[in-house]
Structure 1
Amino acid sequence: MEDVVSGLDSFSVETGLTEDEISHFLVLRARAAGLTFCGCAHAVYLCNLVHSLRCIIKSHTANRESVASGENDPLCVGILGMGHMGKQLLQSILEMTPIKPSHIKVSTRRPESAVDFVQMGVECFFDNRRLAAWADVLFLCCLPCHLSKVCPDLHSHLSKHCLVYSFISAVPVTRLTTLLGHDFILKPQYSFVDCDNADVWLSCTHLTTALTHPLLIEASCPVTMSASAPSHDCRAYGGVTLFPDGLRWSEVKLQRLFRIVGVASCRR
């Protein structure tokens, strides 16, 4: 569809704003871009790592061709919610991981909004229970206000080995554990601090391209995203911090990773 307002400056968001207001607006844009980038980057890294380790484990019993294709026991990735975060995450997984579209399923209230992904081979439907029972890794990308309807659907349908990776803001892991009746949950908690280097995220005009940018990769590294660093010192991470501390986050992620891989090994 053609953008009918393309080139019409009077329709831009910045029109009518003072320089000070534009400055605050750019901070908000940088914050949104930085949080989205880091969320997708860490999720993509997890998917790649789990996929690789599962292939290594299977290499002891399978031939090289089947291991490379991942056909024997593919990693099943589910995404619940197709809003902005869900679409960005799905696009990132499709372009930045070896996981095939046929091994990704999406549950959304509006499956028609994901028609482009369906054409690529991703199955989209509105059945949260079906998604929960199928997925090895389930990404929650819905709004907090939808939890009252989503959690009853997922409760008692999640397999014990399914890792629930939550992007839902303002809902701690302890609360999710209670609502889902499931304790295998990973939830990054990001914070944004305005600083001179925060505008590095404004270059994220195309997320999957940005995921290959060395400077942005360094800025999103969990080890450098120290929540204990002074608020004025954000040279290493562009203003985005990660809770718990980056090293602790990496430790928690590895623990979850070993649990997924361990279950895959036992199921052989």
Structure 2
Amino acid sequence: MTQKHKKAFTNTHLSVGILGGGHVGKQLAKLLLHSSDLKPCDINISTKRPETLGEISNIGVECYFDNIRLAKWADLLFLCVLPSHLPQVCSDIRCHLSPDCVVYSFTSAVPLNRLAMLLEHSFIIKPQYEFVACDDVTTVWLFHNQVSAALKHKEVLSASLPLSMNGGLFLDQRWVSAVLYGLLNMCTAVKLGSGKTLLLLNGLFETAGSTNTFTYHTFVNSPSASDPIKPDDLFPWINLVDAQTKDTPLTDVVLRNKGLRDCISVMYYSAFSNLAEG
């Protein structure tokens, strides 16, 4: 990634909300602070017991119990609540989410389509995991009970790599496409034309010998010949629920383009490199 393209993303303010302050919410907040450029002021947590988050609030993360306030504020909202609490939580916040807000759900027991219906929202990412029997499960995953500590180990990083998970877990590969479509939607949300969007994404995902991995048709089915694409035209808004439940033009690109997969792997490892160094 060039410095020019890094600045395009790192100079953009991102408000990250975490709804739920239990074990998952706490671990997520700590990991984001240790492995990203986010500052404590960029993160808010809403939980029924904000007084239990003293360690996090003391470093500048704002903690409170107001789910509606969090939903209105967040550009990216992580759902870290129990499945039994999700219907009420969704009922509370669904009218207050910006259409541009990315919702990332860790609530595994609730299917994606059900979550989209509860939230009346389509800009949702939810990993679909399956467990596969594996003799090395214990040795891979039980290094530590803290996520940031576990990710210091190369074995755990390798086992959690989204494109080639091992150690007993399998992740639906359409999740990767959904994340890339999410980046595309973010560009559309700020009215970035298709030409500049492709330039930015190709800069972020440069692969060996190629700086033109993505084209318009990588993401969108071919329009008619009578409807040419202009660089200032916006990409259409992509329904991320569809991107995770159906095959898309991008699904095939990720499958066939080894350079792109290698680039994503390098980016994944580098995201946690500072944990290993700490």
Which TM class, normalised by the smaller chain length?
0.5 to 0.7
Q: Look up the match of 2:179.
A: 253
For residues 241 and 223 of structure 1, what CA distance do their matches in structure 2 show? 9
Q: Calculate the aligned-residue CA RMSD, in Å.
A: 2.3
CA contact (8 A) 1:88 1:207 kept: yes
Amino acid of the structure 1 residue aligned with 2:146: H
**Any unmatched runs of 5+ in structure 1?**
1-48, 59-66, 226-236
CA contact (8 A) 1:102 1:122 kept: yes
C-alpha displacement at 1:186, in angstroms?
0.4
1:112 aligns with 2:38: no
Task: Select 1:223's aligned residue among 159, 163, 170.
Answer: 163
Q: Look up the match of 2:112.
A: 173
Aligned pairs for 1:2-21 within 5 A: none
Please give the per-residue CA displacement for 1:24-76, whole angstroms capped at 9, x wherever unaligned. xxxxxxxxxxxxxxxxxxxxxxxxx9xx9985436xxxxxxxx6xx4xx4111
Please give the per-residue CA displacement for 1:100-153, whole angstroms capped at 9, x wherever unaligned. 000100010111011111101000111111111111110000011112321121
Task: Select 1:140's aligned residue among 50, 66, 79.
Answer: 79
The 3-state SS of whatever aligns with 2:142 is: helix
Q: Look up the match of 1:207.
A: 147
- Report % sequence identity: 47
Q: Look up the match of 1:194.
A: 133
The 3-state SS of whatever aligns with 1:109 is: coil
For residues 162 and 53 of structure 1, what CA distance do their matches in structure 2 show? 25
How many residue pairs get aligned? The number is 191
- Normalised by the length of structure 2, the TM-score is 0.64
The 3-state SS of whatever aligns with 2:77 is: strand
Q: Look up the match of 2:8.
A: 57
For residues 188 and 149 of structure 2, what CA distance do their matches in structure 1 show? 33
Residues 261 and 115 of structure 1: CA distance in aligned 2, closer, same or farther (over 3 Å): farther
The 3-state SS of whatever aligns with 1:124 is: strand
Aligned pairs for 1:230-245 within 5 A: 237-242=166-171, 244=172
CA contact (8 A) 1:53 1:261 kept: no
